[in-house]
Amino acid sequence: MPEAVHHHHPALAHHFDDLGQQSEAATLGMWVFLATEVLFFGGLFLCYAVYRGWYPDAFALGSHELDVTLGTINTAVLITSSLTMALAVHAAQLGQRRLLIILLLATMALGATFLGIKSIEYYHKFAECPATRVYLHLPADNEAGHACHVPGPGFTFEPVEHARHAQIFFSLYFLMTGLHALHMVIGLGIMTWMLWWSRRGTITPEYYSPIEVSGLYWHFVDIVWIFLFPLLYLIGRHGH
């Protein structure tokens, strides 16, 4: 007598009762990871809070040396990418595979735009600085009077009495936006993976947890920027 054939969804792992339980476990697991990420970035925000509390004037002056227009555009780009990501999950839930692929591509394009604008900002800072121009293969001689806002031995800042503390601001600026950008790069990698799974048909209305969970990561990175933008670009603009 043949054994009863046990039919189940190919995506269902054997240690789960059903796909509902499996997707709840995936969401919960992702949130536990994001909780560690909250504290990871939280340590840097705490560092920022302590130093800004000590040196509010230097932080405000340092903030004025960042490009508010590019920062604002990037905030809008990232929020739009969160919309396309949310709509991608929606398309996955409804089994609209073509739309899902288009929305994942749109999310990736917006993420790449963000990184492009961010690298323009970094490029300006490194190209301005006499000490770091060499890394960009630019002629070492620079018109006099250009400040170097890249933390390190070549760092300069006007007014000079705030230079040491402004360097702390720029260290935090490069560290926090750099770590955020690294998360964006990882996010683009995850989206490439999801694009592949969507194309080959792994993602279905019964099994879209991978898209949902990738979306949680993408939105988290957006939230980090929602705090970074006002804290780095917009401080002390009203008084000067």
Partner 1 sequence: MGTDHILPKRIYYGIFAILMVGTAITVVASSVDLTGITLRILTFPLKLLPQTSLSYRWSHAAAIIAGGANTIVALAIAVLKATLVVLFFMHVKYSTRLTWAVVLGSVFWLGIMLTLTMSDYLTRAWQTFG
Binding site for partner 1 (CB under 8 A): 19-20, 23-24, 27-28, 31-32, 34-35, 38-39, 42-43, 45-46, 49-50, 53-54, 68, 72, 75-76, 79-80, 82-83, 85-87, 90, 93-94, 206, 212, 215-216, 219-220, 222-223, 226-227, 229-231, 234-239
Please, what is the minimum distance in Å from the beta carbon of residue 195 to partner 1? 20
CA distance 12 to 99: 25
Q: Which is nearer to partner 1, 43 or 139 (CB)?
A: 43
Q: Which is nearer to partner 1, 86 or 131 (CB)?
A: 86
CA distance 62 to 55: 11
CA distance 235 to 43: 20
Q: Which is nearer to partner 1, 46 or 186 (CB)?
A: 46
Q: Which is nearer to partner 1, 49 or 186 (CB)?
A: 49
Please, what is the minimum distance in Å from the beta carbon of residue 27 to partner 1? 6
HSE value, Cβ hemisphere, 13 Å, CA-based, for 37: 19
What tokens does 171 get? 């260290």
Q: Is 52 helix (H, G, I), strand (E, B) or coil?
A: helix
**Cis before residue 159, ω within 30 degrees of 0?**
yes
| H-type alpha helices, 55-96 | 56-63, 68-93
What tokens does 41 get? 């970035």
Q: Which is nearer to partner 1, 174 or 229 (CB)?
A: 229
- Sign of the CA dihedral running 189, 198, 38, 238: positive
What tokens does 147 get? 């400040």
Please, what is the minimum distance in Å from the beta carbon of residue 61 to partner 1? 15
| Nearest to 115, CA basis, from 181, 172, 187 | 181
CA distance 71 to 47: 22
Q: Which is nearer to partner 1, 65 or 128 (CB)?
A: 65
Please, what is the minimum distance in Å from the beta carbon of residue 240 to partner 1? 10
Please, what is the minimum distance in Å from the beta carbon of residue 202 to partner 1? 16
Please, what is the minimum distance in Å from the beta carbon of residue 160 to partner 1? 25
